[in-house]
């Protein structure tokens, strides 16, 4: 999850103080926290991002992409006019830095009044030299890191300490609140129905799947318990492995309700959530699509007010005639995390984990290694 520092940067950006973020990490947490994509350069890529080499469309996933090194993945661009095979965005050692990201990073460093270097050893070239570009225009460098860095002598201020602690002090001094982190994930339920050969029964299947594709993993769901309003005639079931799929046969004229209890994976802020799915073979479902941004804002407000997660909402429903299917997209709050930036006797109250003065990439990088510059 994004740390106190990640969320503080979001608030500073909204206030117009922070103009741009440059990240060497591949964990995708700046995007997840709420930094706008156009104000972020991810120099080494993003483990949760796929991109289309043909039309340049980007796809942020809720699961870690299976490859690195700009290789083809198992998915395609969803644009009907394109359909090219997607690629991961994480660089391997022989890969050049992406020119688009690097050019933006250089531009903003030259324009910056102050470049904050937070929790980085400043040893991986060429990224480590970016802050120096601000000096030519009269800008200043501030370094916050537990250890010394090769650029300390160039900085106007160096603080050898925990980034969260320093940023909490900055936010308190500015009299600014650090916003909570509310994570909202999406999944889809697919109810498929067909008549038996004698027309007396309905063969149906309920599937809980990722919105990123039927074969994509659902990392935040551990298991699904299925129960029914008519418990005497319908046996409960527990789905413990993906794909979460249940097949049944019922009499054509019967109607009932299904209850899906989704148990969340470790790391989520609550244990489970429950959704209800009405079953009626005769009824026709109208398609609709809600304003996702407005729906998310309402869910965030409720999550903050209740200080809990598990809230869910339907955001889209569509039908397919052959085979007869009802596809519903659900949003669910899977994490709520609040931050207290008040400092007492030099300590955070309560202390939160976060950037601890070291690079938080998901892959270890050797000290002093260089990356190729793009031509």
139 and 230 co-located in one domain: no
Residue 215 Cα distances to 53, 77, 124, 209, 325, angstroms: 22, 15, 37, 8, 18
Please indicate if the annotation marks 77 as binding a ligand.
yes
Backbone phi, then psi, for 256, in 5-degree steps? -165, 180
Write the pLDDT tens digit of every residue in 32-72: 999 999 999 999 999 999 999 999 999 999 999 999 999 99
147 and 198 co-located in one domain: no
pLDDT value for 103 = 96
Cβ-proximal residues to 72 (8 Å cutoff; 6+ apart), any chain:
85, 86, 87
Asked, for residue 329, whether it belongs to a domain, the answer is yes
186 and 147 co-located in one domain: no
In angstroms, the CA 19 to CA 108 distance is: 8
Instruction: State the first-to-last Cα distance of the chain, in angstroms, to the nearest integer.
Output: 35
Please indicate if the annotation marks 268 as binding a ligand.
no
pLDDT value for 368 = 44
Asked, for residue 54, whether it belongs to a domain, the answer is no
Kindly state the tokens that stand for 326. Answer: 């009802």
pLDDT value for 233 = 79
The DSSP code for 210 is B
179, 197, 229 — which closes off a domain? 179
157, 179, 201 — which closes off a domain? 179
Asked, for residue 51, whether it belongs to a domain, the answer is no
156 and 208 co-located in one domain: no
Asked, for residue 66, whether it belongs to a domain, the answer is no
32 and 148 co-located in one domain: yes
175 and 187 co-located in one domain: no
Catalytic site positions? 44
pLDDT value for 353 = 38
Asked, for residue 290, whether it belongs to a domain, the answer is yes
pLDDT value for 354 = 36
CATH of residue 150: 3.40.50.1220
- Give the DSSP letter string of 261-318: EEEEPTTSSSSEEEEEEEEESS--PPPEE--HHHHHHHHHHHHHHHT----EEEEEEE
Please indicate if the annotation marks 55 as binding a ligand.
yes
CATH of residue 320: 2.60.40.1970
141 and 282 co-located in one domain: no
Please list the ranges in the chain whose pLDDT falls under 50.
350-369, 374-375
The DSSP code for 131 is G
Model's pTM, two decimal places? 0.86
- Give the DSSP letter string of 57-108: -EEE-SS--S--SS-EEEEE---TTT-PEEEE----TTSBPPHHHHHHHHHH
Please give the residue range of the domain that contains residue 110.
Answer: 4-44+97-179
155 and 239 co-located in one domain: no
Asked, for residue 253, whether it belongs to a domain, the answer is yes
Domain count, the chain: 2
170 and 196 co-located in one domain: no
Of 64, 113, 340, 27, the closest CA to residue 212 belongs to: 64
Asked, for residue 146, whether it belongs to a domain, the answer is yes
138 and 239 co-located in one domain: no
Asked, for residue 31, whether it belongs to a domain, the answer is yes
Please indicate if the annotation marks 82 as binding a ligand.
yes
241 and 325 co-located in one domain: yes
In angstroms, the CA 150 to CA 130 distance is: 13
In angstroms, the CA 79 to CA 52 distance is: 10
19 and 168 co-located in one domain: yes
Q: Look at phi and psi of residue 358 and say left if phi exceeds 0, alpha if psi is from -120 to 50, else beta.
A: beta
């Amino acid at each position: 999850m994004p740390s106190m520092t990640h969320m503080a940067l979001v608030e500073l950006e909204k206030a117009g103080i922070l103009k741009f973020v440059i990240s060497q990490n591949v964990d995708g947490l700046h995007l997840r926290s709420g930094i706008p994509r156009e104000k972020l350069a991810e120099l080494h890529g993003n483990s949760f991002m796929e991109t289309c080499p043909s039309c340049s469309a980007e796809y942020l996933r809720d699961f870690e992409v299976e490859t690195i090194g700009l290789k083809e993945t198992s998915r395609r661009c969803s644009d009907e006019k394109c359909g090219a095979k997607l690629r991961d965005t994480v660089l391997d050692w022989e890969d050049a830095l992406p020119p688009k990201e690097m050019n933006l990073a250089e531009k903003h460093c030259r324009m910056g009044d102050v470049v904050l270097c937070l929790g980085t050893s400043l040893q991986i070239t060429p990224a480590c030299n970016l802050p120096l570009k601000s000096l030519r225009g009269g800008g200043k460098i501030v370094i916050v890191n537990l250890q010394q860095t090769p650029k300390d002598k160039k900085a106007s201020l160096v603080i050898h300490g925990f980034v969260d602690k320093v940023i909490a002090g900055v936010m308190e001094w500015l009299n600014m609140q650090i916003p909570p982190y509310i994570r909202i994930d999406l999944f889809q339920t697919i109810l498929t129905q067909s008549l038996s050969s004698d027309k007396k029964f309905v063969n149906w299947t309920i599937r809980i799947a990722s919105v990123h594709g039927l074969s994509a993993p659902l990392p935040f769901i551990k298991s699904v318990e299925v129960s029914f309003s008519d418990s005497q005639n319908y046996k409960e079931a527990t789905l413990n492995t993906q794909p979460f799929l249940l097949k049944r046969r019922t009499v054509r004229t019967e109607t009932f309700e299904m209850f899906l209890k989704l148990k969340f994976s470790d790391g989520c802020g609550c244990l489970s959530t429950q959704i209800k799915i009405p079953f009626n073979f005769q009824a026709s479902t109208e398609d609709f699509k809600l304003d996702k941004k407005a729906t998310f804002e309402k869910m965030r407000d409720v999550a903050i007010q209740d200080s809990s997660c598990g809230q869910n909402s339907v955001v889209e429903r569509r039908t397919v005639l052959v085979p007869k299917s009802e596809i519903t997209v659900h949003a669910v709050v899977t994490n709520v995390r609040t931050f207290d930036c008040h400092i007492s006797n030099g300590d955070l109250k309560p202390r939160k984990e976060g950037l601890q003065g070291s690079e938080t990439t998901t892959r270890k990088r050797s000290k002093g290694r260089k990356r190729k510059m793009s031509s």
